[in-house]
Amino acid sequence: MLRDHDIQKLAGQLHAVDRENQQHHENLSNLLGNFNSLLESYNLLKSDYEEEKEAREKYKKMARGQERNPFVLVLVDGDGYPFQEDLVRSRNEGGITAARRMTDSIKELLHDRLGDQAEQCRVMIRIYANLLGLSKALARAGLVGHEARSLAVFASSFTRSQDLADFIDAGDKKEGADHKIREMFRLFSDINQCKHIFFAGCHDVGYLSFLMPYRGMADRITLLKGPSFHPEFRTLGLPISEISSVFMSSPLGSSPEPITSKSAVPKSAVCWFFQKGICKYGNDCARQHITPQQHEISKPQDNKSDAHSTVREMKHYAKILRSPSIKDGGPLVHVNRNGDRIDTVISQPTNEEWNAYARRAKQHKLCNQYHLGGECSNLNCQFDHSHVDDSLIEVMRYIMRQNVCPNGSDCRLSKCYHGHMCQKPGCKGGKPCRFSQYAHTLDPQISDDLTPIDQDEYDSNSSHITIG
């Protein structure tokens, strides 16, 4: 039999085992409780993460959507910005020409503000005017007929000519156009896809208080100068530009400058292409076919010094600029005596060609590198590589000639389709022209034809010479 001492010892051991068992049970219960809490916290965090991830994906899609179709807005108060007389008199054709000129001018201004991004932006034009009142004012000036809303033909052709151009009758209420312009401005100023707003309402100081919240926003807003520009708009700290090829330079009804000589030929009536020997209309051309010497004689004499006296005059274009020469099966690069690259002249597309190009580009934007450069090395290119008519190729070529080649007049690339010199009639440089002052003073007389260099050769010799 066990002694009392042994029995007490065993009882103590049993109690110890029981306490350890209870402690183990408590520890296990605590561990399981903590594990359950951890699982609940994990599930909550996972749910929050999934919601955040979904929200982020939605934001990315929305951001991509906002960058997909960028555009700029042109808002015009037509009551204070009358179109040039020749455009208004031409009625139907004048409206088409006005829309095209305005679109082209805005695109030129865009390059100074948005750089390369300007190529992707479409131009939306909204002109609001009291058509009845404006027609009466133009009729009194002898520019349109006296029938009611005689400007309607011009306005409708303006609207039809471009997909995003609208000339809208705001009614004959006193502030009909003002209200429309303000609301359109507020709406589009908060839209990320609208990259810039050109505001043409600086004849009316009533817009000043409305524009005050946008002071200094030069990256978003540009003021367009009109015939009755109010100087107080300069206090807004916004850039000011002018579209002189579209709007009148003086208020409607002001006295025109007297004509000093009937024999003097208006500058706008001279056929620039005839002086280069490439006018395709011949005797049917609507402009004057006169030689550069006759043009110089017909100009009024001006004894004032010209700061741009070194800029080439029209007489330099008397000789035909040759098409790219062919030697050993490839085109050559024309250069003048100073080694500057000289571009051949490309005629401005007709209205029909512009419209055909716009329709095609609206379906799918064309790839410049493929159609003009002959090849596209971008395997992920999203632009159109399908067949294009020759007439559309010429429109593309004309557009790209307005873009300055990054290599300048030193370019020798065989497939370069950018411009190396300014070819605009009478242009002396400065805004909105994108070409440098030197590109306006090049001697266009070709003295040599050089063998072009391929892109690979350029890349191997210079890392900064490229074709875009």
Tell me the C-alpha distance between 366 and 394, whole Å. 13
Q: Both tokens of residue 169?
A: 């009758």
Hey, is 247 helix, strand or coil? Answer: strand
**Tens-digit pLDDT profile for residues 58-91:** 877 766 665 678 899 999 999 899 999 999 998 8
**Tens-digit pLDDT profile for residues 173-205:** 767 888 899 999 999 988 888 999 999 999 988
pLDDT for 271: 64
Mean pLDDT of 88-98: 92
Task: Collect all residues with Cβ–Cβ distance below 8 Å to 82 and sequence separation of at least 6.
Answer: 88, 134, 137, 138, 227, 247, 248, 252
Higher pLDDT, 305 or 2: 2
The pLDDT-based confidence of 325 (bands split at 50, 70, 90) is: very low
pLDDT for 151: 92
Most confident of 188-202, 276-290, 301-315: 188-202
First-to-last CA distance in the chain? 108
Residue with tokens 């916290």: 41
What residue ranges do the domains of the chain occupy? 71-241, 314-463
Mean pLDDT of 294-306: 44
Mean pLDDT of 409-416: 86
384 and 365 Cβ atoms separated by less than 8 Å: yes
- Which segment of 85-94, 146-155, 244-253, 321-330 scores lowest on mean pLDDT? 321-330
pLDDT for 77: 93
